[in-house]
Amino acid sequence: MRVDTRMISGFDRFLFVVLFLILGIGVLSIYSVTSEAGGASLQGTALYLKQINWIVLGWLVFLVMAWIDYREMARFAYPIYLVTVLTLALVPVLGRTGMGAKRWLTLGSFSFQPSELAKIGILFALAKYFSDNGPKKGLNLGQLLLGSGILIIPALFILKQPDLGTALSVSSIFLSMVFILGLRSRFLIYFSLISAMVSPFVGQFFWNNLKDYQKKRIFTFMNPAEDPTGTGYQIIQSKIAIGSGGFFGKGLFGGTQSQLKFLPERHTDFIFSVFAEQWGFLGVLVLFILFFLVILWGIEVASQSKDLLGSLIAVGIVGLFSFYFFVNVGMTLGVMPVVGVPLPLVSYGGSAMVTTLGMLGLLLNIKVRRMIR
């Protein structure tokens, strides 16, 4: 199984340009909000440089994930999944606490979030399970339940950390795959009837498992005016920042950061607000087109894959990537609840950057092997 550069199409090459543009936008935006005059400058300089380091590491992972045949990787899907679940189970015991949640595991001087590993683990386990067992006429009850079991075990651990954003986002992998596989029609009717009856109880269970701040965020989304925690105010500030950017924007350092300094997560979760204020609707349009191109490429990979495994992996990645984009941008525009997920490739944060680039590498992997037997 040899791979050579001829297998990389023109669109693939073009995509590298797209990715570099998105990454550049991210670094520039981080630089602009963390290097303002005052106490933040020392830390700020370090932040955008750190982000560049993470991008470099991300590209290395991209290469690895593109190089090893995804079918070889899928052979280890279940062991990877088991390791994922085990590390997640270790977090409450050995984890490091940061910002009120236990999300990190430390190995020597290296610390990582097992929930990032979980994205890969769930992706492979589901793709492998569905491609091995997926019937042509859609999933039956047993397959659907086993598949959701694969999702729910790690998802509950992640929810417990607590990390509502990641728990919801891994669900998007599952839902995307189920969507393209379809359900058996007769079963579908039963299932929707049953789930309609059961959902209040499941909902209750999940609601009880949410932390107070997560509940408040959802309340706030329902009714931002009566806001007990200030997240409604974050949304208002974010809307002011974006709206005041107008059509052409205020320029790189022209944004009134005096507004945004009320956003505690302006270089992470609210980076889109920063960008939209600086570059206006025109900038937003360009960013949307860039993300559209990445998604389009993923869809092409999914539809051209020569086996079901590849298609499922690609669809899962596209689903996850889009989910992040919708929830994050929707939040800053005030149309989605504040659940604290990053904007992929743009927000500051190492673990998410590495995972995202790794998954994009996986897409390229599937793409270049579409013609290999």
Partner 1 sequence: MAGRFFPHEDRGLEKKIYWFFGIIVTGLALLLLRAWNLQVVNEDYYLNLSENNRLRLVETPPPRGRIYDRNGALLVNNIPSFNLYLVRGDIPDREALVNRLAHYSKIDVDRVLEKLEKEKGDPYRPMKIKEDLSMWEVAQIEGHGLELPGVKVEAEFKRHAISGMLAAHLLGYVGEINQRQRGSEKYKDIKPGTIIGQSGIEQNYDAILQGVPGEKRIEVDALGHERQVVHERLPSRGDDIFLSLDLKVQKAAEAALAMRPGAIVALDPRNGEVLAMVSHPAFDPNVLSTGASSEAWKALLDDKYRPLTNRVIQGLYPPGSTFKIVVGTAVLETKKASANHEIECRGFIRFGKRNFRDWKIGGHGKVNLHRSLVESCDIYYYEMGLELGVDIIAAYSRLFGLGALTGIDLPFEKAGLIPTKAWKKKAFKDQWYPGETLSVAIGQGFVTTTPLQLATMVSVVAAEGMWYTPHLLLKRRDDKTGQITEIPAPPGRRVPVSPAALKVIKKALAGVVSEKKGTAVKSQSKLVSIAGKTGTSQVVGRAANSEIEEDLPESLRDHAWFVAFAPVDAPTIAVAVLVENGGHGGATAAPLATRIIEAYFDQNESASPVETQVAAPL
Cross-strand pairs, 97? 102
Q: Interacting stretch for partner 1, rule CB under 8 A, among 106-114, 153-161, 275-283, 354-362? A: 275-283
Angle at 278 between CA 276 and CA 280, to 5 degrees: 50
SS3 content of the chain, % helix, strand, coil (to 5): 70, 5, 25
Kindly state whether residue 227 participates in binding partner 1, applying the rule CB under 8 A. Answer: yes
- CB-based contacts of 109, cutoff 8 Å, min separation 6: none
Residue from 280, 344, 349, 350 in contact with partner 1 (CB under 8 A):
280
Kindly state whether residue 284 participates in binding partner 1, applying the rule CB under 8 A. Answer: yes
Residue from 85, 315, 353, 360 in contact with partner 1 (CB under 8 A):
315
Are the C-beta atoms of residues 355 and 295 closer than 8 Å to each other? no
- CB-based contacts of 177, cutoff 8 Å, min separation 6: 126, 127, 130, 147, 312, 315, 316, 319
Q: What amino acid is encoded at 85 in this protein?
A: V
Residue from 13, 75, 96, 306 in contact with partner 1 (CB under 8 A):
306
Kindly state whether residue 13 participates in binding partner 1, applying the rule CB under 8 A. Answer: no
Q: Interacting stretch for partner 1, rule CB under 8 A, among 25-33, 65-73, 157-165, 301-309? A: 301-309
Kindly state whether residue 269 participates in binding partner 1, applying the rule CB under 8 A. Answer: no
Kindly state whether residue 333 participates in binding partner 1, applying the rule CB under 8 A. Answer: yes
Q: What amino acid is encoded at 46 in this protein?
A: A
Q: What's the rounded Cα separation, in Å, for the pair 72 and 269? A: 35
CB of 110 to partner 1, least distance (A): 30
Distances (CA, A) of 158 to 112, 222, 326, 348, 364: 14, 24, 20, 21, 28
239-258 mask for partner 1 (x: CB under 8 A)? xxxxxxxxx--------x-x
Q: What amino acid is encoded at 123 in this protein?
A: L
Say how many residues touch partner 1, by CB under 8 A.
57
Kindly state whether residue 359 participates in binding partner 1, applying the rule CB under 8 A. Answer: no
Q: Interacting stretch for partner 1, rule CB under 8 A, among 24-32, 50-58, 59-67, 298-306? A: 298-306
Kindly state whether residue 288 participates in binding partner 1, applying the rule CB under 8 A. Answer: yes
- CB-based contacts of 144, cutoff 8 Å, min separation 6: 178, 183, 191
Closer residue to partner 1 in complex, CB, 19/181? 181
Q: Which residues bind partner 1 (CB under 8 A)?
A: 9, 136, 176, 179-182, 227-230, 232-233, 236-237, 239-247, 256, 258-259, 262, 276, 280-281, 284-285, 288, 291-292, 295-296, 299, 302-304, 306-308, 311, 315, 318-319, 322, 325-326, 329-330, 333-335
